[in-house]
């Protein structure tokens, strides 16, 4: 699987041949509070569309805090995430950062771009990123939560293209701690609905596709940049 990452509006465009985890330009209702502004990204899934975006549960900047989907709002700092470009996967490895990238991962995704998604409520860096359990090889069903950025491969994500839908490019987000490169673990929305109580925590699962090759819509992601222009605070 080959990632074809592109840069758009100063952030990663999760792109692929005909689609990718990203956007073409910026949605009219992206998602971030005004203080976070254009630096922030709103990450959503094809399953529920851009009206529901990644959020830190309860808006708490703490290690182990779960990452969920929530209604997009310009008054919710829990939805403020920044996409940090770490450069090519192979360079992460050759720069002596083997704790972040294994030799096998570096070989599989050598020319792909590595990203971290840092929680930045009201634009203030928390130094905590969306991650699987730190220091452990990711397993199916592992929850995505906040962990220190730049410490382990668990907070690394690379994207691989899937399709274009309603002019948005979608793709899968491969977790840097996966050790299965034929069926990599990707960002996945579990069973349930974002408005459930409690809201389901986002997980990683092996990439899955229908008979025709279309990846499940709960594994296809996109994002936009900027401040929400609609959707009042909750």
CATH number at residue 147: 2.80.10.50
| Domain extent at residue 162 | 6-225
231: in domain: no
Q: Is the pLDDT of residue 21 over 50?
A: no
Of 122, 116, 117, residue with least CA distance to 37? 122
213: in domain: yes
Question: Is pTM beyond 0.95 here?
Answer: no
| Mean pLDDT calculated for residue range 11-22 | 33
178: in domain: yes
pLDDT at 2: 22
Q: Which of 14-18, 58-62, 84-88 has the highest mean pLDDT?
A: 58-62
Q: Is the pLDDT of residue 44 over 50?
A: yes
177: in domain: yes
pLDDT at 229: 55
136: in domain: yes
Place of tokens 């092996």: 206
Q: Report the distance separating Cα 128 and Cα 1, nearest Å.
A: 28
Q: Where are the alpha helices (DSSP H) in the chain?
A: 89-94, 103-108
More confident residue, 156 or 95: 156
pLDDT above 90 as % of the chain:
59
Name the burial class of residue 113, with classes exposed (0-12), middle (13-18) and buried (19+) by CB atoms within 10 angstroms of its CB. Answer: buried
More confident residue, 8 or 77: 77
Question: How many domains does the chain divide into?
Answer: 1
85: in domain: yes
234: in domain: no
pLDDT digit string, tens, across residues 183-234: 999 999 999 999 999 999 999 999 999 988 899 999 999 988 866 554 443 4
Q: Report the distance separating Cα 37 and Cα 44, nearest Å.
A: 17
232: in domain: no
Q: Report the distance separating Cα 149 and Cα 138, nearest Å.
A: 16
In angstroms, the Cα distances linking 54 to 102, 145, 194 are: 27, 11, 10
């Amino acid at each position: 699987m080959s990632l074809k990452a592109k840069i758009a509006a100063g952030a990663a465009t999760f792109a692929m041949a005909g689609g990718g985890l990203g956007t073409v330009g910026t949605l009219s209702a992206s998602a971030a509070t005004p203080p976070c502004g254009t630096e922030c990204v709103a990450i959503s899934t094809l399953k529920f569309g851009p009206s529901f975006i990644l959020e830190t549960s309860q808006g708490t900047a703490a290690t182990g805090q779960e990452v969920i989907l929530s209604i997009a709002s310009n008054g919710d700092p829990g939805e403020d995430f920044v996409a940090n470009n770490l450069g090519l996967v192979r360079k992460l490895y050759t720069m002596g950062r083997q704790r972040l990238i294994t030799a096998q991962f570096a070989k599989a995704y050598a020319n792909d771009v590595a990203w971290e998604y840092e929680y930045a409520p009201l634009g203030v860096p928390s130094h905590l990123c969306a991650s699987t359990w730190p220091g452990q090889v990711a397993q199916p069903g592992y929850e995505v939560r906040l962990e220190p950025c730049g410490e382990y491969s668990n907070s690394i994500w690379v994207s691989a293209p899937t399709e274009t839908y309603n002019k948005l490019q979608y793709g899968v987000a491969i977790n840097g701690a996966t050790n299965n490169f034929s069926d990599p673990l990707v960002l996945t929305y579990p069973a349930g609905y974002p408005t459930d109580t409690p809201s389901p925590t986002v997980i990683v699962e092996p990439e899955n596709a229908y008979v025709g090759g279309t990846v499940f819509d709960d594994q296809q992601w996109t994002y936009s940049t900027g401040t929400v222009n609609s959707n009042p605070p909750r």
